[in-house]
Chain A
Amino acid sequence: MLKSDNEAEKIYYAIFKKNIPLSTKNHFDKISEKIDARYPLNEITKYHHLLAKAVDLEAIEVAARYLRTCPILNDKFKLMIFLAETLPENYGVFINEQSRHLSAYLSLAFSVFRTVYKLSKGAFYLALNRI
């Protein structure tokens, strides 16, 4: 089966901007095989091509979600989110630990603009590579 050596590392880094813990990587690799088994070979090839070439995986993922071009990438991101949530070091990424209304509104507004940028960037990359 086609496989990238550092699939888990790349996805974890794209989401959390840090290195993946070994236990999470091991779980990801095991479950990845089950997800891959659901897809035809051409989808898996496309996914690994993106993984190997893409610089901004987060941008590609959001564009792929909207354009429905690489569902396997969306599944892998979702899987990583589920696995990462169980780690105490990511607690603050998922759970708001301090009340902060104004900065929350500003953060959310920034997130909307950031997504528009990421979506455009990802869509441009996918169009450029005819994916």
Chain B
Amino acid sequence: MIHEIIIVGSGPTGVASALGFAENGIVPLMLDVGHEPRDIKPPVCNFYTYRKTRDSFDLMIGTNYEGLQNVIEKRTPSPKVSSPYMNFVIKDSETLTPVIEKGAPILQSFSAGGLANAWGAGLYRCMDDDLTDLPLRASELSSYFDKLTKEIGISGDDDDLTPFFGSTNHMLKPLKLSEKSEILYSKYKKKKKDLNARGMYMGRPRLGVLSEHYDDRAACDYSNLDMWVPHLPYIYTPAYTLQKLIREKMVIYRKSIIVTCWTRENDHLIVHGEDLNDRSQVTFKCRRLILAAGTVNSSKIVLNSKKDFARKLRFIDKTLVQFPLILPSFIGQKIKEDTFALTNLNVVFNLKKYGIRLQGSIIELSSPARSVFYEMFPFSARDNLAFIRLFLPSVLILFLYFPPARENAGYLMLRANNTLEIDSPPEKIDKRILREIVHTFIRMGVLANSLLLKQPTHALQYSGTLPMVAHPDREYQCDKQGELFNEPGVHVVDGSLFSSLPSKNNSFTMMANAMRIADDISKMIKKQ
């Protein structure tokens, strides 16, 4: 049987493209490894109630000591994927796609729904000035943004950030702010004129987190389980749309398949892979192949198909700087058990003097284990615990994202032994910018100090290996439909296409773009 469309991967872009095909009445075959959460009943009460009343070893550490990866291996993947129930997100990633990491650690997922099972659910519309290096205008994506907003259920507000985040069409009301965030937001509103003049804007985040009952999913219950329990009904994961598409027979889903490459035969493509159940080699035939396996794995499939073990593809990622923001009146305050533990507020720094726009997320610390902050304090063990208990309630963390500098790209290459080599060099951050941001918060009455900054890390938003350009004229470039140069019928729809990154999270834009490409391909198919 020759399928019209085969999609590889079930992450945000795979599912968005499947949705695009489904809308046009085309039923694609989706190939995926598709790891799912363990079949164990996670807690249903508040995180703190749970911890007070029973041993939480199973929830926080796990029988295979998943929650202790930082201690045992000195490796720091995102704390969210280290927890035992969430560990399925990165399960087998080191064996299925071995990577020699020359720079920052590389995080991959082979779960149904992809890395988005552990995301912060920040969903922002890119505007024209965020898409400067792409042959794409924001207006071309707006109808897809609207459709996806309805599908996902995005909460947010029409506020000072609307000019940066775009339309509020179909948006749900914002989530309840934590007490600290509410105070911070009121400080901003009081000094807004002065802060805006300095290029700082603050507002509510756009999150795929339900503030009200929506599409048969319950609203956020502020249980603080966000870091610990997968598939909470109120945090969107592409796995929800995938389940719906499977149920409604709008996608044929084959799990436990890892795609390795494609070849050509007459007028169709043969997709080669391995069935992980019995390690047998399998093939599937299709007319068009949609690569949505994420930047790392889509690039690997492309390089492997071309048997190119020498080419270094340009690889970019954003840089993340973490700022503690301290509200001294909260020192010694009782823990607030019913707080939303992900992004409470967003800030945009439009620093014209430096020609840069930065976006930051202000995050509550109520969900992670307290132990992860143990090394943050420089005191003796018992005194560190006193600081964790009494000082930590006064801290919010600002995650500030820097777009990758054009000249600072790393590379991704495939070695002949099927191992990827990825170099992701650290970004050099202009300290004057950091000082200026610290001063802006101090003007708001928040304690911040550049000495308290953690070392910049990578934001895990890999991109740029197979760039989308208006007129592709060389290998590994894609056209506006994501079609690879000299590879008719092979389309890329994930982050690989984005040759530059704005400081805002562009997952939502990648999804809208994948849906646009699926829509365009469907129209072409209908014409034929």
B335 within 8 A of A: yes
A contact residues vs B (CB 8 Å cutoff): 14-15, 23, 27, 30-31, 34-35, 38, 58-59, 61-62, 75, 77-79, 81-83, 85-88, 91, 93-105, 107-108, 111-112, 114-115, 118-119
Contact B391 A86 (CB under 8 A): no
For B161, the chain A residues whose CB sits under 8 A away are: none
* Interfacial chain A residues near B56, Cβ < 8 Å: 86, 88
CA distance A75 to B60 in the complex (A): 18
Chain A binder among B212-220, B310-318, B371-379: B371-379
Interface string of B363-381 (1 = CB under 8 A from A): 0000001110011001111
Q: 19 other contacts beyond A97-B334, A114-B380, with CB at 8 A cut-off? A: A15-B381, A35-B72, A62-B379, A78-B374, A78-B375, A79-B68, A82-B369, A82-B371, A83-B57, A83-B61, A88-B55, A93-B389, A94-B370, A95-B48, A96-B333, A97-B335, A101-B333, A104-B332, A112-B379
Taking CB atoms, residues of chain A closer than 8 Å to B369 are 82, 85
Verify if B137 is at the interface (C-beta below 8 Å from A): no
Please classify the interface of chain B as helix (H, G, I), strand (E, B), loop, or mixed, using the class held by over half of its residues: helix
Determine the distance from Cα of A119 to Cα of B383 in the docked complex, in whole angstroms. 12
Instruction: Let me know if B57 and A81 touch, CB within 8 A.
Output: no
> Could you tell me if B390 and A88 are in contact, using CB atoms closer than 8 angstroms?
no
Chain B, interface residues (CB within 8 Å), range: 35 or more
> Can you show 27 pairs from A to B with CB atoms below 8 A apart?
A14-B381, A30-B65, A35-B72, A38-B74, A58-B380, A58-B382, A59-B380, A78-B374, A81-B371, A81-B385, A82-B371, A83-B61, A86-B57, A87-B55, A91-B51, A95-B48, A95-B335, A95-B389, A99-B332, A99-B333, A101-B331, A101-B333, A104-B332, A107-B390, A108-B331, A108-B390, A114-B382
Residues in B whose Cβ lies below 8 Å from that of A86? 51, 55-57, 59-61
Majority SS of interface residues in chain A? helix
B432 within 8 A of A: no
Taking a contact as CB atoms under 8 Å apart, the answer to whether B331 and A105 are in contact is: yes
Asked if A15 contacts B385 (CB within 8 A), the reply is yes
Q: Are B57's CB and A27's CB within 8 A?
A: yes
Residue pair A82, B333 in contact (C-beta under 8 Å): no
Among candidates A59, A91, A107, residue contacting B52 with C-beta atoms closer than 8 Å: A91
Nearest opposing residue in chain B for A111, CB measure: B383
Out of B48, B381, B389, name the residue touching A61 (CB < 8 Å). B381
- Closest B residue by C-beta to A56: B380
Asked if A78 contacts B71 (CB within 8 A), the reply is yes
> Once the chains bind, are B370 and A115 in contact (CB under 8 Å)?
no
Residues of A within 8 A of B386 (CB): 107-108, 111
Q: Is the CB of B71 within 8 A of A75?
A: yes
